[in-house]
Every structure is written in structure tokens, then in C-alpha cells.
Amino acid sequence: MDTATKGFKDVLTEKLGDKVVFDEQNAAGDSATCATICNQFVSSKVDLIMANATPALQAATASTDSIPILGTSVTDYSTALDIADWTGTTGKNVSGTADLAPLDKQAEMIKELFPDAKNVGILYCSAEPNSKYQTTEMTKLLTDMGYSCKEYTFADSNDVASVTSNACDNCDVIYIPTDNTAASCAEAINNVASPKKVPIVTGEEGLCKGCGIATLCISYYDLGRTTGEMAYDVLVNGADVSTMEIKTAPTTTYEYIADRCDALGVKVPDNYVAIEADAE
């Protein structure tokens, strides 16, 4: 998410130079702080709010219905904003970019890497609605491919190890969607899954580095740049944010952790790019 913010700022700085001023605030995962920050932005009469991740987007939309808001690193806007009849635009003072990599291609990746597997466990935090959305879609896709899927949810970091252990004991492969809580607990997840020799496929790169063997991921920097281009269109060209379609990252990349794949005997196609795991 930090790289998404950097991409956003880089674009606007390139285009506007010293005409653009950023007031960057980090709520450090606290919803109350997030709300306070957004209310301060409204009081300061900022020209635009860039909300990085779903909680920030929800806090921003609760604070104003007039200042243009652009989200980034948001998985699904219809879920985040509770819009039942989704058309691709919000109809509100909100638009932005989604960090959801193509789930159908991630399901195909699991099939490609583990054609003989039978049971796939989907591990995620129950407090994150976007993770539930991804899980529902992946379950449909994987079930159609012949896999048996089961959800394994943890409420917070306190029970992630026990839930991961249960998943490892009952599954051939584990899939973890883009999930902020899981990402913060990646080391704890790896400490359980690695000794049990259960491979984990993840929805994004940070998780993969922490506990996975492969991912189909986006570039968060490019996602931020796309958001910055949208901001320029709003601020300079007068674009109506309520009619701007939600955009996604321009490219995706298949990535893998060589050491973990070798240890598990997983053969990776030539189009995968090797990345370094976090220090273990």
C-alpha cells in the first residue's frame, strides 16, 4: 500500500510540480483514527481525498458526500460501499482503483501447479468483507474445476496459528486471498505451514513473500499511478468522479518463491518470475 501511495504522488508531482500539496496521514489500522483524519481533511477543505485501502475509503465516504474521493488498494467497491446493483461506477463522489488480481487466472494457476490436489483450504480473516467476497468467487471457480473447498477463518492474529494448523491438517493446498490481516500475520502462518509442508498460493506479492509459494499479482506502484492519473483528470480536467469507472492495475505477473517450491517439489512454468521470500 505504501508503494501505491508513492505511485499516486509521483504522477501528480510529475504533472503539477509544486502546485500540488500532499497532506499524508496514516491511521495505522485504527478505524477511529481513520475517521478523525478524514474529518480533518474535510475541515481543511481539501480538493480531493485519496483513500488507501477499504477502511480508509469507508471513513472518507462517511466524512463527506461532496469532496471527490479516489480509493486505491481496495478489493471490491460494491462490497466496501454496500452497493447492491453494481454497474462499474458508484454514482457517488467516489471512484478509484481496485487491487483485485483476476481470480479466474489465480484459480487456473492452482490447477496448473497442483493438478492432482483434491482439497483446497481458503484461509482468511473473518473481519474483512473483501476477503469473504474473494473466497466466495474462488470457491465457485475451484469447485467447477473439481476441487473440494473449505473456508478457514480467523478473527484476528490471536487465533491465526491454530486455524492455519487446522487447515494444513485437512488440505492439500491453501489459498489466501488479498487480506490485510493475513498479510500482517504472514510469518506466523509460514511458521505453521512450512513444517507441515503444505503449499500456500496467495492473492498478492506481500503475502507470497511472507508465507506463499506462488502468486499472480499486480504492481501496487502502477495501481497508484493509475489512481494519480484519475486524480489529475478530476482536479485539472474537471472529470465527474461519480461517473468514472473503477480501474484495475494495467498488468499482472506470475511470481514464485524458488526455495519453497524446490522444497515442496513444485514445478513452476517458465513464465513465472522468481522473487525473494521474506527472511525466515
Domain boundary among 179, 203, 227: 203
Q: Which of 176, 203, 230 is the last residue of a domain?
A: 203
Residues 94 and 223 grouped into a single domain: yes
Global pTM value: 0.81
Q: CATH no. for residue 188? A: 3.40.50.2300
Q: Is residue 244 part of a domain?
A: yes
Q: Looking at the domain assignment, is residue 275 inside a domain?
A: no
Say if residue 122 is in the same domain as residue 170.
yes
| CA dist list (Å): 208 to 47, 55, 83, 115 | 37, 23, 31, 20
Nearest to 94 by CA among 257, 279, 202, 234: 234
Domain count along the chain: 2
Distance of CA 257 to the CA centre of its chain: 19
Q: Is 272 within the bounds of a domain?
A: no
How is 188-237 classified by DSSP, letter by letter?
HHHHHHHHHT--EEESSHHHHHHH-SEEEEE-HHHHHHHHHHHHHHHHTT
Residues paired with residue 202 on neighbouring β-strands, in sequence order: 176, 215
161-214 tens-digit pLDDT = 999 999 999 999 999 999 989 999 999 999 999 999 999 999 999 899 999 999
209 pairs with which residues across the strands?
Answer: none
Do residue 91 and residue 171 come from a single domain? no
Q: Are residues 195 and 234 in the same domain?
A: no
Q: What is the pLDDT of residues 40-59, one digit of tens each?
A: 999 999 999 999 998 899 99
For 236, residues 6+ apart whose C-beta sits below 8 A from its C-beta are 15, 16
- 149 and 81 both lie in a single domain: no
In a domain, 79, yes or no: yes
Q: For 258-268, how does the pLDDT look when each residue is reduced to its tens digit (9 = 90+)?
A: 999 999 999 99
Is residue 214 included in any domain, yes or no?
no
Same domain (yes/no): 154, 173: yes
Round to whole Å and give the CA distance between 95 and 77: 9
96 and 223 inside one domain:
yes
Both 223 and 92 in one domain: the answer is yes
| Same domain membership, residue 227 and residue 199 | no
Per-chain mean pLDDT for the chain: 95
Which structural domain range is residue 162 located in? 103-203
Amino acid (1-letter code) at residue 49: I
Lowest mean pLDDT among 142-151, 162-171, 243-252: 243-252
Same-domain status, 82 and 114:
no
Establish if 268 belongs to a structural domain: no
In a domain, 146, yes or no: yes
Which phi-psi region, left, alpha or beta, contains residue 17 (left: φ > 0; alpha: ψ -120 to 50)?
A: left
Q: Answer with the one of 168, 203, 238 that is the final residue of a domain.
A: 203
CA distances from 135 to 118, 139, 182, 257, 270 (A): 17, 6, 14, 23, 28
Give yes or no: residues 178 and 121 share one domain.
yes
Q: What is the mean pLDDT of residues 96-117?
A: 94
Domain assignment of residue 147, yes or no: yes
Model pLDDT, residue 280: 60
Residues 68 and 198 in one domain: no
pLDDT band at 277 (very low <50, low <70, confident <90, very high): very high
